[in-house]
Amino acid sequence: MFGRKEKVQTVVYFVTRRLASGRLYRPSTNLTDTVIVVTGAAAGIGRVSAREFAKLGAKVIVGIRGQERAEQVAQEIQREASNGKVTGYNLDLSNLSTVKTFADRILKNESQLNILLNNAATTSKKYQQTADGIELQWGTNHVGPHYLTKLLLPLLINSNGRIVNVSSNAHRLVPKTGIKYKVEPETYAILLAYATSKLANIWDAFELQRRYGEKGIKAYSLHPGTILSTELARQAPKFVIMILQFFGLLIGKTMDEGAMTSLFCSLSDEAQPGKFHSDCKVANPSSIGYNQKMAEECWNYTEKMIEDKIS
């Protein structure tokens, strides 16, 4: 039998876990005749999001590295959610050429695109570069999604579509002075590199709304919560993993809970375009999260980088 102390600890744990799970959002929208693209849907909250969209009847295109793997995951999600249609295309966000090929397939095969969920992300313990010679986290987490969004923008505008960028509260690690765009191997730091890319996700949503909101699109950014059982968490340094595991017992979210803010921003009328969200509601980003000058500078820098790489 449990003693009084153990009972109190158990109650505290479950109450804390319930609070940590955040506001719950369970959509019931009929998504028949809706086309949705989800990147990074092989596992984690991206896969959960794709599954939930399909359950509601949507046509879901999952972007996953490797065509064989993409088709396999699409078939697995299809079996879990038979109401919709799930298709898998090869997408490697660290390679601008494959981003272009992915976008071209969608532009060729689809007459509408209602939601683009930019979910995919990576981390790297050591300094690495993408196929295009860009620092890996910056290239995969920001430049690739920015390029993909830009390529699909005409279809999104014609569909009055939504663009949802999965960011992170890690963006708060970037100092108030802003981003340092040139990263050298000698000064590379995994957490700062990740934080920088996640701040850029917020700025991109902010700028997309400012530049194209009048044309009918709606752009959002979000923090999904602390989710430990992801590749991102496993790639962190050991001391960071230990800290995350400790706090994760109390404040960590399950995959399903972590996907809820993505679903909220994708489907709810309560989500606010151009804003940052957490726990299925609008939240305040860091003090530079809505800095228009910095956001515009980041946009222009990214556009120039892409132009240089693809020319």
Query: Annotated active-site positions, please?
Result: 194
Residue 307: CB atoms within 10 A of its CB come to 9
Residues 127, 185 contacting (CB under 8 angstroms): yes
CA of 165: how far to CAs of 36, 108, 221, 276, 291, in Å?
14, 24, 5, 9, 17
Residue 38: closest CA among 51, 24, 23: 51
Give the strand order in the sheet containing 162-166: 85-90, 59-64, 35-39, 115-118, 162-166, 218-223, 276-278, 281-282
The CA distance from 53 to 259, in Å, is 11
* Full DSSP string of 267-295: H-TTS-TT-EEETTEE----TTTT-HHHH
Q: How far apart are CA 158 and CA 86, in angstroms?
A: 22
Q: Which residues contact 236 (CB under 8 A, 6 or more apart)?
A: 123, 125, 190, 191, 244
Report the distance separating Cα 308 and Cα 114, nearest Å: 30
- Residue 87's H or E segment, with its range, is strand 85-90
